Amino acid sequence: MANNNSKTKPTIKSDKILKKLQTIFAISVLSNIGCNKTGTQHELEDSISNDIKTLLDNKLVKRLFGEWEVVWGAGVFQSQLSEKIQPQADNVMFVAKGSFAGETAPQYIISIAGSLTIYDYVIEDFWVSETVPWAELLENSTFNRTPRISKGTEVGLKNLLNMAPGGVQLMELLKTMTGASGEKVDIIVAGHSLGGALSSTLALYLADTQDLWDTNKKAVLSVVPSAGPAVGNREFADYYDQRLGAVTTRIWNSIDMIPHLFHKSCLEQIPDLYLPEYPAGEQGKVMVEMAIKMSQNTNYSQIRHDTPGLPGTVIDEIKFMEMVKLLKNPFKFKHSSVIAYNEFLKFMTQVGLQHTVEYFKLLYLDELLELPRIKDMIEHVIGKVSLTDKGFKEFVEKLSER
C-alpha cells in the first residue's frame, strides 16, 4: 500500500485533460447541493433536480464547462432514520449529458452525492466492521468470493440501484441509451467523498453486469472518484484495478483525512497530517484508534493505491481564517473564540477544509466557491466534520450504540 501522505504532484498531460477533470469533478459535486433540504422523497427529487438544473444554467458554470443537461434524476433515497430525525435525502444521484471542451461526442456523467445525513455517517461510511463478498451483489454463486466490500458500501450501492425517479431505474436508463441507434456511449461515473466510494463501486457493478444492460457492447465506462475512503479488502482492490484501473482517474488530496480511511497504516498517519500547526491531540488519537478497531481484520485497501495525491497544503492561521470567511455562515458558534482554544476542533476544521475547499483550489476551480449553493454545501460538510453542530455528535452517539 502506498503512503497516502505522498507529496508528489501528479502529472497532468495537457490543459484539455485538466479541463475534462474539472468538468467531471464540478458536475459530480452538484449532487450534494440538496444537503440542507427537507421533504418527502418525491419532494426532494423535484427540488434537488430543479436546483441542479439551475446551477447547470448558471452563466459561470456554462462558461467554465459548457452546456450540460440533466437526463435522469435526481434520484433520492431517504431512510426511515432520516424520516424520523429530519426528512432529508440520504443518497442522491443524477445523470447529466453534455460534451467536453473541444469534443462533439455526447458524454454522460453519473453523479453521486457524498455523506449528507447521520444515516450516511453511521451506516454507509462507518459500517466497516462487517464485509460481504462482491459475488453476493452480482448474485453469482460461481464468482470468486474473496473480494469483499464493507457492509455500509453494499447498503449504499443497493440504495442507488433501487432509485427510480420518474419510475425509471438507472439500469433501465442505460439499457435504453445503449439500445438506441448510433455510435458508442461514453459513461463516466463520479462522486466525492462517500460519492467517491460509491462511484467506483457502482462502476464496477456496471462493468460486471454489462451483458444485462448493454447487449450491443456500446458503452465505454470510465470512473473519476474523488476523496473516497477504501471500501473493500485487498482482493477487491486488486480485482477492481484489473477490471477498471486503466479507465479510473482517482483524485485525492494527500492531506485529506477521508482517503486515509480504512487502511491501517494510512489510518495511523492521520494524527500527523497537519503538524506542527494543528495537532490532533488525544481526542484525535482516540478517534483513529476507534477507526482501527472498527476495521480490524478486514484488510481494507484503496483502489488505484499507487495514484499520487494532489499536493494539499496545510492552511496557516491567517489563511485558515480567510478560508473560513468564504463560508456564508462559518461554524455556527455562539462564541467563535472557541476556535483558538480547542486544538481538536481546529484539527477537525482543517480536516473539513482539506476535504472540501482545498479540492476546488487544487483543481483551479476557485471561482465556483463564490456560488451560494457551493458555499452552502461546503458549510454543511465542515459543520459535520468539524464537530460544530449537533449532527456529528449524534453520529458519535449512534456509532457507539452499534
pTM greater than 0.85 (yes/no): yes
Residue 314 lies in a domain: yes
Query: 151-162 and 170-179 are packed helices; what angle lies between their axes, rounded to 10 degrees?
Result: 60
Non-local CB neighbours of 268 within 8 Å, separated by 6+ positions = 288, 292
CATH number of the domain bearing residue 175: 3.40.50.1820
Amino acid at 235: E
Amino acid at 288: V
Q: Where are the alpha helices (DSSP H) in 188-334?
A: 194-208, 210-213, 234-244, 264-267, 281-294, 317-324
**How many Cα neighbours within 13 Å face the side chain of 60?**
12
Residue 179 lies in a domain: yes
Pairing of strands 185-192, 107-112: parallel
Non-local CB neighbours of 55 within 8 Å, separated by 6+ positions = 30, 33, 61, 371, 373
As a whole number of angstroms, the distance between CA 332 and CA 345 comes to 13
Residue 250: helix, strand or coil by DSSP? coil
- Predicted confidence at residue 319, as pLDDT, reads 66
As a whole number of angstroms, the distance between CA 221 and CA 185 comes to 8
> Contact, 228 vs 260, CB < 8 A?
no
- Predicted confidence at residue 233, as pLDDT, reads 97
Residue 4 lies in a domain: no
Per-residue pLDDT tens digits for 184-226? 999 999 999 999 999 999 999 999 999 999 998 999 999 999 9
**How many Cα neighbours within 13 Å face the side chain of 89?**
27
Q: Where are the alpha helices (DSSP H) in 66-209?
A: 80-85, 118-119, 134-138, 151-162, 170-179, 194-208
Residue 10 lies in a domain: no
Non-local CB neighbours of 260 within 8 Å, separated by 6+ positions = 4, 229, 266, 267, 269, 270, 273
Q: Which domain holds residue 93?
A: 15-401
Residue 131 lies in a domain: yes
- Predicted confidence at residue 286, as pLDDT, reads 87
Residue 8 lies in a domain: no
Torsion of CA 62, 68, 69, 74, to 10 degrees: -100
Residue 216, all three cell numbers: 450491443
- Predicted confidence at residue 329, as pLDDT, reads 46
What are the residue ranges in the chain where pLDDT is below 70?
1-14, 317-341, 386-402
Q: Is the peptide bond before 74 cis (omega within 30 degrees of 0)?
A: yes
Residue 203, all three cell numbers: 462502476
Pairing of strands 232-233, 300-301: antiparallel
Cell numbers 477487491: residue: 236
**How many Cα neighbours within 13 Å face the side chain of 388?**
28
What is the number of structural domains in the chain? 1
> Contact, 42 vs 64, CB < 8 A?
no
Residue 1 lies in a domain: no
Backbone conformation region of residue 101, classed left if phi is above 0, alpha if psi is from -120 to 50, else beta: beta
- Predicted confidence at residue 181, as pLDDT, reads 74
Residue 372 lies in a domain: yes
Per-residue pLDDT tens digits for 105-149? 789 999 999 999 989 999 999 999 999 999 999 998 899 999 999
